[in-house]
Amino acid sequence: QFLTELTRLFQKCRTSGSVFITLKKYDGRTKPVPRKGHVESFEPADNKCLLRATDGKRKISTVVSSKEVNKFQMAYSNLLRANMDGLKKKDKKSKNKKSKATQ
Amino acid sequence: MPHYQAWEEFTRAAEKLYLADPMKVRVVLKYRHSDGNLCIKVTDDVACLLYRTDQAQDVKKIEKFHSQLMRLMVAKESRSAAMETD
């Protein structure tokens, strides 16, 4: 599902550009808030968040709830860390080995 | 739009901002492999906090913080669900 797509997104962008990820709390609203006093009888759910990812061209998104968050987080953290590895490594002694970004 | 240099300050300010109004705050993470850097932004559409890095050691911190925020967002539900491990 979402995680596979996210992996693919990261892989695709390795050579080109940016990956944007957005995290936002979600209250389960599917209809816009009505202007007149017509109150919608829906239950605002407080335990979900919305996660989006895009590479500028394609957009993917998913809703994460408290039930899924544990499993999702583990996979998601690994994904983030595995993919954001193009950054400089700070070493005290920089040997003459040039750190090549392996693609 | 303050750019934070100290990670500690950033996380403290970001968490405060989120707790002030959880519904409004969103977190944006931007990674650029070609530039080799990572940028995290927390905003409630009024204030905006920004932190940029190109250090591998920060990736772990940022990713952990991101997970923390995710947990905060899903945490309001009945405790029993969170306690149970399925």
Tell me whether residue A96 is in a domain: no
For A28-73, what is each residue's pLDDT tens digit?
766 676 677 666 656 667 778 888 888 777 888 888 888 778 877 8
> Which residue range is the domain that position B42 belongs to?
3-69
Q: What pTM was estimated for this model as a whole?
A: 0.70
Residue at token pair 């953290």: A77
Q: How far apart are CA A72 and CA A57, in angstroms?
A: 24
Tell me whether residue A88 is in a domain: no
Burial of A68 (0-12, 13-18, 19+ CB in 10 A): middle
Q: How far apart are CA A76 and CA B46, in angstroms?
A: 29
CATH of the domain at A3: 3.30.720.10
**How many domains is chain B partitioned into structurally?**
1
Average pLDDT, chain B: 81
Q: Which residue of A23, A27, A29 to mutate against B (max B Cβ within 10 Å)? A: A23
Q: What is the mean pLDDT of residues B33-45?
A: 83
Q: Is the ipTM of this complex over 0.90?
A: no
Tell me whether residue B82 is in a domain: no
The length of chain B is 86
Tell me whether residue B59 is in a domain: yes
Q: Residue B49: pLDDT band by 50, 70, 90 thresholds? A: very high
Set of chain A residues whose Cβ sits within 8 Å of the Cβ of B22: 25
**How many domains is chain A partitioned into structurally?**
1
Does pLDDT of B36 surpass 60? yes
Tell me whether residue A99 is in a domain: no
> How distant is the alpha carbon of residue A89 from its chain centre?
23
CATH of the domain at B22: 3.30.720.10
Q: How far is A42 from chain B (nearest CA, A)?
A: 16
Does pLDDT of B81 surpass 50? no
Tell me whether residue A94 is in a domain: no
> Which residue range is the domain that position A16 belongs to?
1-32+40-82
- Do B32 and A70 lie within an 8 Å CB cutoff? no
Q: How far apart are CA A49 and CA A83, in angstroms?
A: 23
DSSP calls for A8-55: HHHHHHTSS-EEEEEEEEE----SPPPSSS-----PPP-SEEEEEEE-
Tell me whether residue B29 is in a domain: yes
Token pair for B6: 């100290």
Tell me whether residue B84 is in a domain: no
**Residue B76: predicted pLDDT:** 66
